[in-house]
Amino acid sequence: MATRSVAGEAREIELASQMIHLGARLQVLQAETGLSYDRLSRLYREIKGCSPPKGMLPFSVDWFMTWLPNIHSTMFYSIYRYVDQHTTAKGARALVEAYKLYLEQSSAGRPEHTDAEPVLSFTRAWMLVRFFDGGLLQMSNCARCDGSFVAHAHDPKGSYVCAICKPPPRAGKTRASKKSSSAQI
């Protein structure tokens, strides 16, 4: 860190600025750059015009499994993997490029919603990649439609069914019909 060049630091500030514009939390900037907390929070205030939000990052693997987040996470991660493997952008830069493409894709065809909050925030996208790197998540093929989706790692192979194919839970309905049939007896 002590030997970091001025040009290197300029590149990190530029990267951090891009991430702030995309909605990154301060913890993400700290993890992805070598810049100090003070510099990062000053940069954040300059760009956003307010102090960075405090508190913990959303830490839930299960959030990525609920159906709409799962579809968006799957779309993002497919783009990220492509950018990481087929372009010169790596690490945080691949994340930034993939996230920009995700924003374009998720708002394509409905320009009136471009100002709406994206389903997958930049910070969530960053966590998603960390969960993959940490071996908590994997891409699994759906046993019904054969599409590839974000799923828990170590799920038994061949039995995974995606969020689109899985019918909604009918527990309430089943209980109600059981009740009415037992009332008849």
Q: Which is nearer to Zn ion, 47 or 161 (CB)?
A: 161
What SS3 class is residue 140? strand
Q: Which is nearer to Zn ion, 65 or 142 (CB)?
A: 142
165 contributes a contact to Zn ion by CB under 5 A:
yes
Give the number of other CB atoms < 10 A from CB of residue 153.
Answer: 14
Place of tokens 């900037």: 29
Q: What is the nearest approach in angstroms of Zn ion to the Cβ of residue 120?
A: 19
145 contributes a contact to Zn ion by CB under 5 A:
yes
The number of residues that bind Zn ion (CB under 5 A) is 5
Q: Can you tell me which of 23, 142, 152, 153 binds Zn ion, judged by CB under 5 A?
A: 142
Q: What is the nearest approach in angstroms of Zn ion to the Cβ of residue 90?
A: 31
CA-to-CA dists, residue 4 to 28, 39, 115, 134, angstroms: 20, 15, 38, 28
47 contributes a contact to Zn ion by CB under 5 A:
no
Extract the runs of DSSP E, i.e. beta strands, from the chain.
137-141, 148-152
Distance, CA of 106 to CA of 115 (rounded, Å): 12
162 contributes a contact to Zn ion by CB under 5 A:
yes
Distance, CA of 104 to CA of 123 (rounded, Å): 17
Choose the stretch contacting Zn ion; rule: CB under 5 A; options: 16-24, 63-71, 124-132, 143-151. Answer: 143-151
Choose the stretch contacting Zn ion; rule: CB under 5 A; options: 6-14, 22-30, 111-119, 165-173. Answer: 165-173
What SS3 class is residue 135? coil
10 closest CA partner among 33, 32, 37, 26: 33
Place of tokens 């839970």: 169
143 contributes a contact to Zn ion by CB under 5 A:
no
Q: What is the nearest approach in angstroms of Zn ion to the Cβ of residue 82?
A: 21
CB 56, CB 28: distance < 8 Å: no
Q: Can you tell me which of 144, 170, 173, 178 binds Zn ion, judged by CB under 5 A?
A: 144
166 contributes a contact to Zn ion by CB under 5 A:
no
Give contact residues for Zn ion (rule: CB under 5 A).
Answer: 142, 144-145, 162, 165
